[in-house]
């Protein structure tokens, strides 16, 4: 089985990277993490790549005079390794429109909210302040605007009484760790199409329960 060659771009902790590496360890998973890039030398997540024997490189944005030059260096590294899909996983640099266009529909991101709600930073605090009863995460194709683009996978998690930012973030993060491998698998299986800026997934029509919060037994 030819596995889809995936690069993961990180800036920090790298728990989503670790989830992707773990998923790829299964013999029947149709993708492999072939390269990890970080824009920060001190990104803790680099250790996950090293432990798994995955090539990693630091391309520090500070070493480049312009965003375009930084993006170009990323692009060169990705192409040199024959990367077919790029996963942003806590990569905290906005990529320029040229880069995003060049990798259109081969570049995905995970964000810790049910987009289009709460893009940007401080997601969980804003969700709590808004009083939403469900939070969640989104894996989407990247477009030039931040946290925008056709949605591949979403996971909903309840906001529970007594939640603070840390508790809600931990619940959402656990859902991220299931959502990102699912999105990568569906893409690697060739089941994901973008039509009219919406995602269609072959064979994904199934019944799902409606979840109420609070439950109607309350
Ligand atoms: C994750 O929660 C991810 O959704 C978020 O950064 C965290 C990275 O954690 N990304 C964004 O907010 C992008 N807008 P990780 O380094 O442990 O994977």
- Tens of pLDDT, residue by residue over 71-96, are 999 999 999 999 999 999 999 999 99
Q: How far is the CA of 217 from the centre of ligand 1 (A)?
A: 34
Distance CA 217, CA 74 (A): 52
Distance CA 183, CA 105 (A): 13
Evaluate if residue 196 carries a pLDDT over 90. Answer: yes
Query: Would you say the CB of residue 158 lies under 6 angstroms from ligand 1?
Result: no
Residue 38: the pLDDT is 98
Cβ atoms of 123 and 95 within 8 Å: the answer is no
Taking the whole predicted model, whether its pTM rises above 0.75 is answered as: yes
Helix (H, G, I), strand (E, B) or coil at 129: helix
Strands (E), the chain: 4-10, 31-38, 56-58, 85-88, 107-111, 134-141, 151-158, 192-195, 198-201
- Span 201-212, average pLDDT: 91
Cβ atoms of 93 and 60 within 8 Å: the answer is no
> Which of 48, 61, 111, 140 is the catalytic position?
111
Q: At 198, phi and psi to the nearest 5?
A: -130, 150
What is the pLDDT of the chain when averaged over all its residues? 97
- Span 182-193, average pLDDT: 98
Residue 1: the pLDDT is 77
111 in catalytic set: yes
Evaluate if residue 207 carries a pLDDT over 90. Answer: no
Residue 197: the pLDDT is 97
Residue 56: the pLDDT is 96
Evaluate if residue 109 carries a pLDDT over 90. Answer: yes
Residue 206: the pLDDT is 81
Residue 218: the pLDDT is 81
> Ligand 1, closest atom to CA 119?
14
- Span 167-187, average pLDDT: 98
Q: How far is the CA of 165 from the centre of ligand 1 (A)?
A: 14
Give Cα 20 distance to the centre of its chain. Answer: 10
| Region label for 126, one of left (φ > 0), alpha (ψ between -120 and 50) or beta (otherwise) | alpha
């Amino acid at each position: 089985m030819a596995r889809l060659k995936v690069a993961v771009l990180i800036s920090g902790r790298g728990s989503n990277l670790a989830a992707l590496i773990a998923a790829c360890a299964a013999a029947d998973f149709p993708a492999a993490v072939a390269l990890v890039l970080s824009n920060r030398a001190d990104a803790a997540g680099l250790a996950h790549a090293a432990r798994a024997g995955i090539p990693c490189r630091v391309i520090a944005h500070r070493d480049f005079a312009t965003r375009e030059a930084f993006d170009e260096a990323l692009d060169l590294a990705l192409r040199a390794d024959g990367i077919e899909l790029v996963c942003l996983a806590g990569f905290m640099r906005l990529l320029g429109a040229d880069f995003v266009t060049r990798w259109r529909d081969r570049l995905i991101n995970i964000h810790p909210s049910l987009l289009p709600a709460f893009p940007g930073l401080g997601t969980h605090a804003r969700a709590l302040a808004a009083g939403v009863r469900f939070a969640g995460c989104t894996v989407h194709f990247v477009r030039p605007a931040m946290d925008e683009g056709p949605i591949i996978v979403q996971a909903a998690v309840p906001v529970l009484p007594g939640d603070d930012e840390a508790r809600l973030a931990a619940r959402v993060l656990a859902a991220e760790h299931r959502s990102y491998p699912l999105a990568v698998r569906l893409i690697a299986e060739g089941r994901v199409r973008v039509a009219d800026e919406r995602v269609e997934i072959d064979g994904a029509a199934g019944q799902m329960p409606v979840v109420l919060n609070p439950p109607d037994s309350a």
